[in-house]
Amino acid sequence: MGRLVALGAALMLMAAFAGPALAAPRTVKAVIHEDFGRRASARPCTPLIPDGVTCAGDGVVATVGRVTSLADYPPDADVTRTLTFADGSTVTIVETYADARFPGNSSNAPGAEVSYGNPSMSTFTWVITGATGAFAGATGSGTGTAALAGDALTFRFQGTVSTP
């Protein structure tokens, strides 16, 4: 009996020093939409010259629900995006983009130098840098694609996330 008590005490001590364990990583997918306000929009992107652009958007994180998004696009730096969920919880991610690709010859189309709507596609990686509320302590990373066509930007995210 004494050995069982000692074993139990040792296991409790080990658990106390192990710290909180993260749940097994879960696969996540999300789609976020933004626009520049050329069509009716409650939240168009706002240029902050020379500081870049800030874009509000919305979308869905599969199995979690609807989110709003606020992304800051500084010149020549990574994008910081904060997703806000219905309960007020937030997840902040940093997106690092590869060079944009332009289908066909769209980057050389007439008006390309004065238009933001010529089609393009980029790939990116993302990593969680902070979280609050139900997602406090979350970690995760993944990849994604960003497509621009006309007034609309569509971002598709996939990756894994662990929460405490």
Q: Is 56 contained in some domain?
A: yes
In this predicted model, what pLDDT tens digit does every residue of 72-125 receive, in sequence order?
A: 999 889 999 999 999 999 999 999 999 888 777 666 666 555 555 678 899 999
Q: State the average pLDDT over residues 15-29.
A: 62
Q: Is 7 contained in some domain?
A: no
When divided into structural domains, the chain yields a total of 1
Q: Is 129 contained in some domain?
A: yes
Question: Higher model confidence: residue 113 or residue 13?
Answer: 113
Range of the domain at 51: 22-162
**Residue 158 pLDDT > 50, yes or no?**
yes
Cα(92)–Cα(96) distance, integer angstroms:
13
Q: State the average pLDDT over residues 56-63.
A: 92
Q: Is 37 contained in some domain?
A: yes
Q: What is the pLDDT of residue 2?
A: 42
Q: Is 14 contained in some domain?
A: no
Q: What is the pTM of this model?
A: 0.77
Q: What is the pLDDT of residue 15?
A: 30
Q: Is 113 contained in some domain?
A: yes
Q: Is 4 contained in some domain?
A: no
Tokens of 145: 């694609």
Cα(64)–Cα(103) distance, integer angstroms:
33
Q: What is the pLDDT of residue 51?
A: 76
Q: Is 11 contained in some domain?
A: no
Q: Which of 16-20, 52-56, 79-83 has the highest mean pLDDT?
A: 79-83
Q: CB–CB of 109/125 below 8 Å? A: no
- The CATH number covering residue 86 comes to 2.40.350
